[in-house]
């Protein structure tokens, strides 16, 4: 999920205080569990931190498949997936194949819509609180990230 806070500026004068934050999240629909980070940047380094966080949440002896879209930091050559993760790159322009896209839509609609933040820390708090709210509701995690058609035979 990506969000930007805008400020007003005179024409032809760039704003000076734009702030951006990025939430990295992963879900396991079968176990109804999540792993997430909120970081002020998105690059290979941030993605490697996220991969490590996901790997810590994979049960011992298990292996996880992580579905990735076309974000630049998902395709960076510097990614170092832990041994218990396999990365699956989706075809371009296919967000409907990535279950975590439903999570971002859910959070925007239910926890982060129509909000004005007074400070950068308030943005971070709101994002972390939204993710925690979602992660603590296993029924919602499972229902909005499951793909019944993927199991059809």
List the chain domain ranges: 2-114
- pLDDT score at 43: 85
Buried b (16+ CB within 10 A) or exposed e, 46-82: bbbebbebbbeebeeeeebebbbbeeebbeeeebebe
Tokens at 75, concatenated: 């395709």
pLDDT at 21: 59
pLDDT at 28: 92
Report how far residue 108's alpha carbon sits from residue 56's, in angstroms, rounded to the nearest whole number: 26
Q: What is the mean pLDDT of each run of 10 residues along the chain (153 residues)?
A: 43 46 85 89 88 95 89 77 93 81 90 86 88 95 81 56
**Residue 151 has what pLDDT?**
60
Contact of 45 with 23, CB cutoff 8 Å: no
Q: Is 87 exposed, middle or buried (0-12, 13-18, 19+ CB in 10 A)?
A: middle
DSSP 16: S
Q: Determine the pLDDT at residue 8.
A: 42
pLDDT value for 80: 92
């Amino acid at each position: 999920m990506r969000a930007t806070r805008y400020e007003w500026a005179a024409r032809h004068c760039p704003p000076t205080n734009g702030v951006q934050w990025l939430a990295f999240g992963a879900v396991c629909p079968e176990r109804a569990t999540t792993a997430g980070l909120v970081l002020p940047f998105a690059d290979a380094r941030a993605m490697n931190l996220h991969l490590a966080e996901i790997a810590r949440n994979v049960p011992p002896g298990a292996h996880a498949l992580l579905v990735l879209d076309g974000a630049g930091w998902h395709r960076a050559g510097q990614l170092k997936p832990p041994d218990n993760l396999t990365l699956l790159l989706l075809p371009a322009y296919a967000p409907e194949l990535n279950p975590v896209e439903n999570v971002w839509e859910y959070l925007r609609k239910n926890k982060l819509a129509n909000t004005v933040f007074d400070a950068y820390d308030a943005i971070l708090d709101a994002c972390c609180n939204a993710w925690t709210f979602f992660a603590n509701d296993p029924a919602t995690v499972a229902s909005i990230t499951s793909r019944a058609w993927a199991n059809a035979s």
